[in-house]
Amino acid sequence: MRINIREKLGDHTSALGASVAEEHMAEVHSAIASGTLKPGTLVILNFEGVSAVNGSYVRSTALWLLVCGQLFNSNLGKTIVPRHQADARPYDVYVCVTGLSDEVRLEMQDFFHPRNLPLLYAKTMVENSILEAVLVGRVDPALQYTLNAVCDAKSISAPLLHSKYPQEHISVTAWNNRLNDLHGLRLVHRVRAGRTWEYKSLAKKMIWE
């Protein structure tokens, strides 16, 4: 699912404020609230042609989607009772941004980094598939290493990582914890494969800048 922000701005090029963000996100709010958005969907926020954003807009768009996905992977999500369709709720959804100008990227970085959250910035895409991505915000170095390992494999599990990287002396449990953390941060998909989980990166390649 792709949302082209510039098309929704009319004669303006700045995306500012929570009320504007809620208007732009109305279709996503409705689809998630009604359960009609396919689980596992990647929502792409395309900022091409947008000259500026502010924290209120980012909070109600990219962060809102990220929180919905995190709640889906958290026990806390079971206690959430949304009162409005624009309220965050647990849902199996992923988010990335693309088409960022230098100014918009800096605003995103300033928003996510202090919150210790990573957001995927798709630098190269083919239709809705991310070929190359960087992270806006931050992620723990151990998770960065693990994400690279997931990208290198088409699909991988904790036992396979343990076998593939014996020199790291990382237990299967530790690999599993890292993979689960990446899934909680909405940086990887996962599917059940027998008694284990298999993980796949949203981006085919990560670029660390």
Question: Which two structure tokens, joined as six digits, stand for 138?
Answer: 């931050």
Q: Which CATH architecture has domain 139-209?
A: Orthogonal Bundle (1.10)
Residues facing residue 126 across a β-bridge: 129
pLDDT on residue 88: 80
pLDDT on residue 79: 57
Q: What is the dihedral of CA 137, 2, 90, 64, to 10 degrees?
A: 50
Three-class SS state of 166: helix
**Domain spans, the chain:** 1-138, 139-209
pLDDT on residue 106: 95
98: amino acid identity, one letter: T
Q: How far is CA 56 from CA 53, 85, 99, 190, in A?
A: 8, 18, 19, 31
Tell me the whole-structure pTM to 2 decimals: 0.89
pLDDT on residue 82: 61
For the chain, which ranges sit under pLDDT 50? none
pLDDT on residue 198: 93
pLDDT on residue 129: 86
Kind of pairing between the strands at 196-201 and 188-193: antiparallel
| Eight-class DSSP state of 78 | G
Phi, psi of 158 (to 5 degrees): -60, -45
Q: Contacts from 5-8 at CB under 8 Å and sequence distance 24+?
A: 5/45, 5/46, 5/47, 5/49, 5/50, 6/46, 6/47, 6/48, 6/49, 6/50
pLDDT on residue 18: 93
Phi, psi of 183 (to 5 degrees): -65, -40
Residues facing residue 190 across a β-bridge: 199
The answer to whether the CB of 16 falls within 8 A of the CB of 52 is yes
Three-class SS state of 191: strand
